[in-house]
Amino acid sequence: MFNLPAISKLLQDNPDLLTTEGLSALLHDCICLKYAQHHRFTYPSLLVDNSIYLELAQMGTSKVEDEALIRRVMASSKIWTADGCESQEEAADFLVLFRKIRDNIHQLQQDLGISGVSQRHISIRDHLFSYPAPEDQLILLEYDRRVLKNAVPGVIKYFLELVQMSPTYNLFFVDENENKIPTTVAIVEDAAARAVKAEIYSESYNWKPTNTNCWEGKPAPQLHPDEIHLILHLDWDENKFMFFDAHYPDISRWPWLTNN
């Protein structure tokens, strides 16, 4: 499969195609092909040679209906243009085509044993941290799942260190209705013991009033962010989660609270 002419052409664009980041970037490019003016392509050959896209869809075994789909797409003069498809059928064809490409790339990833996890580097409260995270668009191999699960204690340790630094942040559990309930370090640690993977990120905003009781926020990075978010995934099917937030102790960061 990886000896196809399409793969050879894409390797000329990016010699690191057959890596975690390379395959993820390819699928992202394929998604953005309909919005090319708003995306910087890792594989510009996709823009100048439609046959590459079609060949990616034909990798592996093809059914009669697959061949019919390819013929319809090839016959459409409008489907490749930036302003979209002429009909719902053409739009549906393009979506089905991408799904075939995605499935084929996932099979290629699995055949070559290419990880679906990459290292994420972040800095919160001037403390650097790196941890493994799923790469956008790719599947997780069995080894990837072990890597992500083994990384959970390190993510929790980093999160709690950030919370307990001076000034100490206020810690909350976020329930299914998005209510923020004060919680403790022990509860976070207990929840983490059930997690198969963990994510962490921070947010800060500059809030401006728009009218009565309405505020508009624009991202405004700060050394000590407004909020630090921890997401615990409790299963691999993405059905069960636990959310924890840590808030900066000065409520003036949320001006609507000081006005009440």
Instruction: Give the start-end residues of each E strand in the chain.
Output: 117-124, 127-134, 170-174, 180-182, 197-203, 205-211, 214-219, 227-233, 241-247
128: pLDDT confidence band, cut at 50, 70 and 90?
Answer: very high
pLDDT at 78: 55
With a cut of 80, say whether residue 111 has pLDDT above it: yes
Q: Residue 56 in contact with residue 70, Cβ under 8 Å?
A: no
Residue type for position 58: Q
Q: Pick the residue with more confidence: 74 or 200?
A: 200
Phi and psi dihedrals of 201, rounded to 5?
-160, 165
Q: Residue 122 in contact with residue 201, Cβ under 8 Å?
A: yes
**Averaged pLDDT, 22-48:** 87
Question: pTM of the entire structure?
Answer: 0.84
With a cut of 90, say whether residue 84 has pLDDT above it: no
Q: Which range among 52-66, 67-81, 140-154, 227-241 shows the weakest confidence by mean pLDDT?
A: 67-81
Bridge partners of 214?
Answer: 211
Q: Residue 243 in contact with residue 230, Cβ under 8 Å?
A: yes
pLDDT tens figures, 176-215: 999 999 999 999 999 999 999 999 999 999 999 887 778 8
pLDDT at 106: 95
71: pLDDT confidence band, cut at 50, 70 and 90?
Answer: low
49: pLDDT confidence band, cut at 50, 70 and 90?
Answer: confident
pLDDT at 74: 57
